[in-house]
Amino acid sequence: MASLLETIHSAEDLRRLSPVQLEELAQEIRDFLIQTLSKTGGHLGPNLGVVELTMALHYVFDTPVDKITMDVSHQAYVHKLLTGRYDRFETIRQPGGLNGFMLRTESEHDAFGAGHAGTALSAALGMAVARDLSGGNNHVIAVAGDGAFTNGISFEALNNIAEQTKRMIVVLNDNEWSIDRNVGAIARYFHRVVTNEHYKHLHDSAARLLQRFGGKAVVHVARKAEEAAKGLLWPSMLFEEFGLKYYGPIDGHNLPLLIETFKFLKTEDKPVLLHILTQKGKGFQPALDKQKKFHGLGPYDPETGETKPAGAVTYSEVFANTLVQLADRNEKVVAITAAMPNGTGLDLFRPHHPKRYFDVGIAEEHGVVFAAGLATQGYRPFCAIYSTFLQRAVDNVIHDVCLQKLPVVFCMDRAGLSGDDGPTHHGLFDISYLRGIPEITLMAPRDQDELADMMATALTLEGPAAIRYPRGVVVGVPRKALPGILPVGVAEVIDAGPKGGSDVAIFGLGNMCEMAGELKSRLDLEGFSAAVINPRFVKPIDKDAVARFAKSARILVTMEDHALMGGFGAAVLEALDELGLSVPVVRIGWPDKFIEHGKVEQLRASHGLSVEAALEQLRPLLALAAESQVAARPEAG
């Protein structure tokens, strides 16, 4: 006999179920997610927390006519199950399978693609205004977690909603978590709402809290507090100041209540906000016990929640442990993260130097300017922000840090391909968006030892620096007791070969050094002389090394885990042009397209980041060079 979940292909199927069957379906969905994601990995905790919410949305509203946006959209798995993707769900995050986030090209029910926080309200407002301009009558619903309200874009949208549309629904899914526990005044505000059952001391509390995160003048706030005392719930003040009618908080796991509430909200002719309380990881005790771990993870035991045994040390851990060492020796070293203490490794730093650890929430722009302010007062901030998230603060890197030549260090975790998370999380553009900025020093380590050295080197610089390093385990080299200082802008020749790389000189940037060594081994077997160079510095690039090998080798090869356009290979071409040197250059890197999700090695192979792809480009050039050499020899006799 088929399960209820197997019979759900659209919202119409959902609406045919009785109240008892709806509750059964909710449990089936939770069981299915726990079992399926134990094999594929994924964002288990967030999706267990939105089962009833998503069911209620699809029960009441009719996608794709009605539009649902989800902030970040890592919690869209239940949405996918209810919109005709059940039979493909076991492919989620797998090569060629379903994406782990909303994706417009995947389904007409995915109204807006996402992967970063803070976009749901702005996108939904755009859809609502488009509906109004077109004379439409459909509904637009934005679902955003409380973590999204630590992001400035959400408040920029709130500032515009009531001015620009007369009908839109915002759902605040409040579970006190993004990836780590939410921080800051906004998080404390929501916590106060749900823990103070009788909303006591309304006047003083509301004024104080609104002042804390930039509300209206105290006198006006006091007036609103008096209104709240007459019957309004005091959390409504924040949102009603923005022109949204506030409802809640209500139980986000009470399916009948959610359905009836959404039916009511459909009739409202004004922008509204529904505040719901949910439990991240609901229905699976391991996910409730370890919220951070089960936000997003790899395969696990569906009974116990235990994951596979931990592997080698990760780059994130090396970064954090090195920063502890640097902070132990320099009281001006401070650490900043944007809601990612676990992902960046800074949760390992926090216990050692709690007063010099700052989590700014999902607010990368603020984090960068905050770091700049600290740097003006003699502190040495290390901003640990994923490459893909630092994109959001490029103007601040330029205007607030580099223009003022402030010694802020950007430690860009997840640089390069991020595998299963897909195009929203691949860090393939940081070289191109940083390389053109004056004053910055840009580095990429080939192993854990060099990462530590680069952090120590950055601490000696008078201006800004950025270090890009990949996700995952480090190359297994022994660590020195203390990091050393590298000569700035000087590459390392790893292996010059017996003839000094007279045929091919391979520049392997960062984690591509290993592949550069493999390419050299293949060339050695084919009788060619190849050298391997570790560039270390993208900016300033080692022009002396480029010139030396351009003169001694027939062909240069650059290898990088980055987009070719504007990347390290492009920097080498620019250096050759400045030097007035002409030599063939084979560039290995990511093409000018957004790279899909999948396993790293498979994606590299399919997009030409492999030894075989490099050899395929090199062989005709080497043959041509050999013919030219023969033709240039004087005839015998």
Cα–Cα distance for residue pair 336/350, rounded to 1 Å: 10
pLDDT tens, position by position, 509-520: 999 999 999 999
Task: Give percent of the chain above pLDDT 70.
Answer: 86
- Coil vs helix vs strand at 260: helix
DSSP structure class, residue 174: E
pLDDT tens, position by position, 532-543: 999 999 999 999
Q: How far is CA 42 from the centre of its chain?
A: 14
CATH of 315-468, one of 1.10.10.10, 2.40.50.100, 3.40.50.2300, 3.40.50.970: 3.40.50.970
The region, left, alpha or beta by phi > 0 then psi within -120 to 50, assigned to residue 430 is alpha
CB atoms within 10 A of CB 551: 10
Fill in the amino acid letter for 90: E
Question: For the chain, where do the domains classified as CATH 3.40.50.970 start and end?
Answer: 5-182+243-289, 315-468
Whole-number pLDDT of residue 235:
53
pLDDT tens, position by position, 432-467: 999 999 999 999 999 999 999 999 999 999 999 999
Strands 492-495 and 465-468: unpaired
Query: Is 552 exposed, middle or buried (CB count within 10 Å of its CB: 0-12, 13-18, 19+)?
Result: middle
Cα–Cα distance for residue pair 202/223, rounded to 1 Å: 11
pLDDT band per the 50, 70, 90 thresholds, residue 310 = low
Whole-number pLDDT of residue 80:
96
Kindly give, in sequence order, each residue whose CB lies less than 8 Å from that of residue 580, ignoring residues fewer than 6 positions away. Answer: none
Whole-number pLDDT of residue 124:
97
Place of tokens 């094999």: 39
Fold of 492-632: Rossmann fold (3.40.50)
Query: Is 430 exposed, middle or buried (CB count within 10 Å of its CB: 0-12, 13-18, 19+)?
Result: buried
Q: Are 48 and 283 in contact (CB under 8 A)?
A: yes
Kindly give, in sequence order, each residue whose CB lies less than 8 Å from that of residue 252, ignoring residues fewer than 6 positions away. Answer: 49, 50, 52, 53, 173, 174, 258, 276, 277, 278
For residue 260 the two structure tokens come to 């009836």
- Coil vs helix vs strand at 105: coil
Fill in the amino acid letter for 483: P
Angle CA 363–366–372, to nearest 5: 140
DSSP structure class, residue 297: B
Cα–Cα distance for residue pair 263/61, rounded to 1 Å: 9
Q: Are 571 and 541 in contact (CB under 8 A)?
A: yes
> In what order do the strands lie in the sheet containing 169-174?
67-70, 140-145, 169-174, 272-277, 245-251
Residue 233 phi/psi, 5° resolution?
Answer: -75, 135
| Candidate ranges 111-125, 192-206, 302-316; pick with highest mean pLDDT | 111-125
Residue 251 phi/psi, 5° resolution?
Answer: -70, 115
Average pLDDT in the 573-597 region?
A: 97
Task: Give percent of the chain above pLDDT 90.
Answer: 71
Q: Which segments of 478-567 does DSSP mark as H helices, in order? A: 513-525, 543-552
Concerning whether 364 is annotated as a catalytic residue, the answer is yes
Kindly give, in sequence order, each residue whose CB lies less than 8 Å from that of residue 295, ignoring residues fewer than 6 positions away. Answer: 43, 45, 46, 177, 179, 280
Strands 272-277 and 492-495: unpaired
Catalytic residue among 67, 80, 131, 280: 280
Average pLDDT in the 372-381 region?
A: 98
**Does 198 score more than 70 pLDDT?**
no
**Does 194 score more than 60 pLDDT?**
no
Q: Are 54 and 22 in contact (CB under 8 A)?
A: no
Cα–Cα distance for residue pair 596/589, rounded to 1 Å: 15
For residue 561 the two structure tokens come to 């885990």
N-terminal to C-terminal alpha carbon distance within the chain: 91
Average pLDDT over the chain, rounded to whole? 88
Catalytic residue among 52, 176, 364, 450: 364
Nearest to 273, CA basis, from 232, 234, 242 = 242
Catalytic residue among 392, 471, 536, 604: 392
pLDDT tens, position by position, 41-65: 888 989 999 999 999 999 999 999 9
Whole-number pLDDT of residue 628:
64
pLDDT tens, position by position, 278-287: 998 887 787 7
Cα–Cα distance for residue pair 174/190, rounded to 1 Å: 8
| DSSP bridge pairs for 530 | 504
Concerning whether 280 is annotated as a catalytic residue, the answer is yes
For residue 319 the two structure tokens come to 């970064």
Nearest to 506, CA basis, from 545, 468, 477, 541 = 545
Q: How far is CA 257 from the centre of its chain?
A: 34
Place of tokens 């290993």: 514
Kindly give, in sequence order, each residue whose CB lies less than 8 Å from that of residue 82, ignoring residues fewer than 6 positions away. Answer: 8, 11, 14, 54, 55, 58
Cα–Cα distance for residue pair 237/240, rounded to 1 Å: 5
CATH number of 5-182+243-289: 3.40.50.970
- Coil vs helix vs strand at 299: coil
pTM for the structure as a whole: 0.86
Q: How far is CA 297 from the centre of its chain?
A: 14
Q: Are 380 and 459 in contact (CB under 8 A)?
A: yes
Concerning whether 392 is annotated as a catalytic residue, the answer is yes
Detail the DSSP E strand segments found in 435-489: 441-443, 465-468
DSSP structure class, residue 388: H
Q: Are 92 and 42 in contact (CB under 8 A)?
A: yes
pLDDT tens, position by position, 101-127: 999 999 999 999 988 999 999 999 999
Whole-number pLDDT of residue 438:
98
How far CA 617 is from CA of 401, 568, 611, 620, in Å, comes to: 41, 18, 10, 7
Q: Are 177 and 208 in contact (CB under 8 A)?
A: no
pLDDT tens, position by position, 148-171: 888 889 999 999 999 999 999 999
